[in-house]
């Protein structure tokens, strides 16, 4: 059976985790958490990175930092994971969904302005499959209407838009290190903060509303309750597991890109024959091969394709059920404008196996099976 995803295995991870255990230093904000934060800051050229317990929590932290409150509106795509919306729904805000572009599956930047009202506070671009949203347009709108931009870059580490790292373009960026992502710590994520003025507030909220981070740096001699907050810091053992992968981040990225390229070349004849659609990488975007997907004609064909792959021992998956059609989406959010592509394109998309360690021969086999299905 070819699995859909296998988390990366890196030898050094064992050594680093053992070191945490041996030194009896496994709690949050230890040496490996700092190494990961610094690595990400350096790589993305962001003012500050704070490792978190998940991307979900990084987004919640960003929502708290933006001070978004009841009845306010946040513009986002409906084609995304639930956490993108939940972070704001938890603050009593209303997710306002706009349609996606069929080429990248990203929020259509041309539809955002019409969705802005007096209540709009933020835009949340989701960089689907690690391919950037049209950030120039989004940042210009945000500046014109005084809105915050929180990038859901859960899938976007190592990707770039016009030379800028994804997650480091908006006011805040959120990475995921869930085991289905390119780099993993089991459960984990990171908040990227562009403006140094937001750093102290972020540290306080992440540390249960206390100024413990300043205390640890020796800036104050006792710590106390400063603001509302929660606990968003991961154990250092998880950071140690992640750091082993960050050290070979380029190698992992290149391996994934080679697999992606192999899929693309193998399946191009099917696309040229009009049988399937392949992912589109717009000019100026550098992607990270987070996923390889193909688009079937419709839901029925996709269902048959996934079943056919399964018969040949290949696990392929689809996602997402558009949020505006889900029970919670109907209750908490609204769709602005027409759903031309969100539902239709989401029903066509199938994700093929993609992970560090997948063999080229396996990709060739998967492509042969896909071609067999269409023959």
Scan residues 88-127 and list those touching ligand PLP (CB under 6 A): 126
The neighbouring-strand residues paired with 98 are 77
- Compute the half-sphere exposure of residue 263: CA atoms within 13 Å on the CB side of its CA: 26
Q: Which residues contact 301 (CB under 8 A, 6 or more apart)?
A: 348
Task: For residue 293, give every residue at least 6 positions away whose Cβ sits within 8 Å of its Cβ, in sequence order, or none.
Answer: 129, 279, 349, 350, 351, 352
- Cβ distance to ligand PLP smaller for residue 97 or 373: 97
Selected from 37, 83, 211, 238, the binder of ligand PLP by CB under 6 A is 83
Tell me the window of 48-56, 65-73, 299-307, 341-349 that interacts with ligand PLP (CB under 6 A). 48-56
The residue behind tokens 């599956």 is 105
Q: How far apart are CA 288 and CA 276, in angstroms?
A: 22
Residue from 91, 178, 275, 351 in contact with ligand PLP (CB under 6 A):
178
Q: Nearest distance from residue 372's CB to ligand PLP, in Å?
A: 30
Q: Site for ligand PLP (CB under 6 A): which residue of 55, 123, 190, 314? A: 55
Query: Of 293, 316, 285, which is closest to residue 303 (Cα–Cα)?
Result: 316
**Using CB under 6 A, which of 56, 106, 148, 237 touches ligand PLP?**
56
Give bridge partners of residue 75 from the DSSP assignment: 96, 123
According to the binding rule CB under 6 A, does residue 154 interact with ligand PLP?
A: yes
Interaction of residue 80 with ligand PLP, rule CB under 6 A? yes
155 cis-preceded (ω within 30 degrees of 0): no
Q: Is 78 an interacting residue with respect to ligand PLP (CB under 6 A)?
A: no
Region near ligand PLP per CB under 6 A, out of 12-20, 147-155, 199-207, 279-287? 147-155
Using rule CB under 6 A, residue 152 touches ligand PLP: yes
Tokens 């056919």: give the residue: 308
Please report, as ranges, the residues that interact with ligand PLP according to CB under 6 A.
Answer: 54-56, 80-81, 83-84, 126, 152, 154-155, 176, 178, 189
């Amino acid at each position: 059976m070819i699995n859909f995803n296998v988390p990366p295995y890196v030898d050094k991870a064992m050594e680093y985790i053992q070191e945490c255990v041996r030194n009896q230093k496994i709690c949050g904000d230890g040496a490996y958490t700092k190494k990961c934060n610094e690595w990400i800051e350096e790589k993305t050229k962001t003012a500050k990175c704070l490792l978190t317990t998940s991307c979900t929590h990084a987004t919640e932290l960003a929502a708290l930092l933006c001070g978004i409150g009841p009845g306010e509106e946040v513009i986002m795509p409906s084609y995304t994971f639930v956490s993108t919306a939940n972070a704001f729904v938890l603050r009593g805000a209303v997710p306002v969904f706009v349609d996606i572009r069929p080429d990248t599956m990203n929020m259509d930047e041309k539809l955002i302005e019409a969705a802005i009202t007096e209540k709009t506070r933020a835009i949340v671009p989701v960089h689907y499959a690690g391919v950037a949203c049209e950030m120039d347009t989004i940042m210009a709108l945000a500046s014109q209407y005084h809105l915050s931009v929180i990038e859901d870059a859960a899938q976007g580490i190592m990707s770039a838009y016009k030379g800028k790292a994804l997650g480091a373009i908006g006011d805040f960026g959120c990475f995921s290190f869930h085991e289905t992502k390119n780099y993993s710590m089991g459960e984990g994520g990171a908040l990227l903060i562009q403006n140094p003025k937001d750093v102290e507030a972020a540290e306080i909220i992440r540390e249960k509303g206390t100024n413990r981070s300043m205390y640890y740096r020796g800036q104050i001699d006792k710590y106390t309750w400063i603001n509302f907050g929660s606990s968003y810091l991961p154990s250092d053992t998880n950071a140690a597991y992640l750091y082993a992968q960050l050290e070979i981040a380029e190698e992992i990225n290149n391996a994934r890109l080679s697999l992606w390229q192999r899929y693309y070349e193998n399946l191009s004849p099917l696309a040229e024959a009009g049988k399937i659609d392949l992912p589109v990488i717009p000019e100026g975007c550098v992607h990270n091969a987070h996923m390889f997907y193909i688009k079937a004609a419709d839901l029925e064909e996709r269902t048959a394709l996934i079943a056919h792959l399964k018969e040949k021992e290949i696990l392929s998956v689809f996602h997402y059920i558009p949020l505006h059609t889900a029970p919670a989406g109907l209750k908490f959010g609204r769709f602005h404008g027409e759903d031309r592509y969100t539902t239709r394109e989401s029903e066509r998309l199938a994700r093929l196996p993609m992970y560090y360690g997948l063999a080229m021969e396996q990709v060739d086999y998967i492509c042969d099976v896909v071609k067999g299905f269409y023959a």
